[in-house]
């Protein structure tokens, strides 16, 4: 599945506990998102504007919370912490690095910082840009204005590179133990455990050996990888592809269902365009023929023997 800014990405071996999401790598929470879990990761945590997180944030590295966001628990950081203007922390804040806070930040239960503390009351940069452009307009320098606007549009100077493995929550998402909604697709990695019912305005992809305690509903296609276990129904207006040794404890409703003969469905199947059984051995034979036709002279079995 191709990643875009509307895709909810959950990396391999992410675990949803009752009150916290345990993962690895950086975590990016989009603007205006509502997360009814805390976060525990070995990477950094980035929280966007106007976001609400009910639980604690725990990271051995930097934590950044943007303007007007609310953290319902504690923040624990082994690095630096940045808190944007009007941010609210309902618990305690403890960090080993520097603390950079904006105007009108609230930390209800106090904080402890071992580094420098910088309290800012800045004029937003957009005001500086507006005043500068206004002066250029008065001077009739339209070419200069066009150049500046093009640079602002193309500028990626504020881009922060993140880890190769990361958890990404798109803007305007809701993630909870009951009803979760995403305006785009969802990509779930290997050996994950998720709680909750997911209403997805796009495609769903679940990688092998993951387990989901809840229902999956998509307006696009659904792909369920090997040895996945779903404790709930699957509903899609597109194609549902159930691969080898999948166990679905619920019903499946879709436009079309592709079903492996080794899968177990403990419910009813409803497909408007029918159900097609997948022959895995036949698929593997076709793939090997294609490899031979493409002059690939070492097939998988021989390669393993050579290793």
Q: Which tens digits make up the pLDDT trace of 60-87?
A: 999 999 999 999 999 999 999 999 889 9
Would residue 35 count as lying in a domain?
A: no
pLDDT band (50, 70, 90) for residue 220: very high
Would residue 172 count as lying in a domain?
A: no
Would residue 294 count as lying in a domain?
A: yes
Would residue 222 count as lying in a domain?
A: yes
Would residue 256 count as lying in a domain?
A: yes
Summarize the confidence of residues 18-32 as an average pLDDT: 94
Range of the domain at 217: 189-199+206-307
Non-local (6+) Cβ contacts of 288 within 8 A are 299, 300
Domains identified in the chain, total number:
1
Report pLDDT digits (tens) over 93-131: 999 999 988 888 999 998 888 888 777 655 455 555 666
What is the spatial distance between Cα 91 and Cα 74, in angstroms, rounded to a whole number? 4
Percent share of the chain, pLDDT over 90: 65
When the pLDDT of each residue in the chain is averaged and rounded to a whole number, the result is 85
Q: Please report the pLDDT score of residue 286 as a whole number.
A: 46
Question: The whole model's pTM is what?
Answer: 0.79
pLDDT at 224 over 90: yes
Would residue 304 count as lying in a domain?
A: yes
Compute the Cα dihedral for 89, 92, 96, 102 and give only its sign: positive
More confident residue, 289 or 172: 172
Would residue 254 count as lying in a domain?
A: yes
Nearest to 29 by CA among 8, 16, 48: 48
pLDDT at 299 over 60: no
Q: Please report the pLDDT score of residue 281 as a whole number.
A: 57
Query: Is there a contact between 52 and 174 (Cβ–Cβ < 8 Å)?
Result: no
Structure tokens at 228: 């996945």
Would residue 171 count as lying in a domain?
A: no
């Amino acid at each position: 599945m191709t990643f875009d800014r509307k895709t909810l990405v959950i990396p391999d071996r992410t675990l949803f506990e009752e009150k916290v999401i345990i993962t690895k790598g950086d975590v990016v929470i989009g603007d205006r998102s509502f997360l009814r879990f805390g976060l525990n990761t070995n990477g950094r945590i980035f929280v966007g504007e106007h976001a609400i997180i009910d639980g604690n944030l725990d990271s051995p590295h930097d934590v950044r919370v943007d303007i007007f966001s609310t953290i319902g628990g504690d923040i624990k950081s082994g690095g630096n912490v940045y808190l944007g203007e009007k941010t609210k922390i309902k618990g305690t804040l403890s960090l080993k690095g520097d603390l950079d806070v904006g105007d009108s930040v609230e930390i209800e239960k106090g904080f402890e910082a071992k580094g420098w503390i910088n309290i800012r009351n800045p004029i937003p940069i957009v005001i500086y840009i507006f005043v500068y452009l206004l002066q250029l307009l008065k001077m009739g320098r339209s070419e200069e204005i066009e150049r500046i606007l093009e640079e602002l549009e193309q500028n990626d100077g504020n881009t922060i590179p993140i880890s190769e493995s990361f958890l990404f929550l798109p803007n305007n998402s809701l993630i909870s133990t009951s009803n979760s909604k995403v305006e785009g697709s969802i990509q779930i990695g290997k050996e994950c455990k998720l709680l909750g019912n997911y209403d997805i305005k796009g495609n769903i992809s679940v990688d092998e050996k993951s387990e989901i305690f809840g229902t999956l509903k998509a307006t696009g296609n659904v792909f369920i990888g090997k040895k996945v276990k779903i404790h709930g129904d699957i509903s899609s207006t597109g194609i549902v592809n159930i691969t080898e040794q999948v166990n679905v404890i619920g019903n499946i409703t879709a436009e079309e269902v592709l079903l492996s003969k080794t899968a177990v469905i403990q419910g009813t199947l409803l497909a408007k365009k029918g159900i097609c059984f997948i022959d895995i051995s036949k698929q593997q034979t076709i793939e090997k023929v294609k490899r031979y036709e493409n002059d690939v002279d070492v097939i998988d079995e021989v390669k393993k023997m050579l290793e």
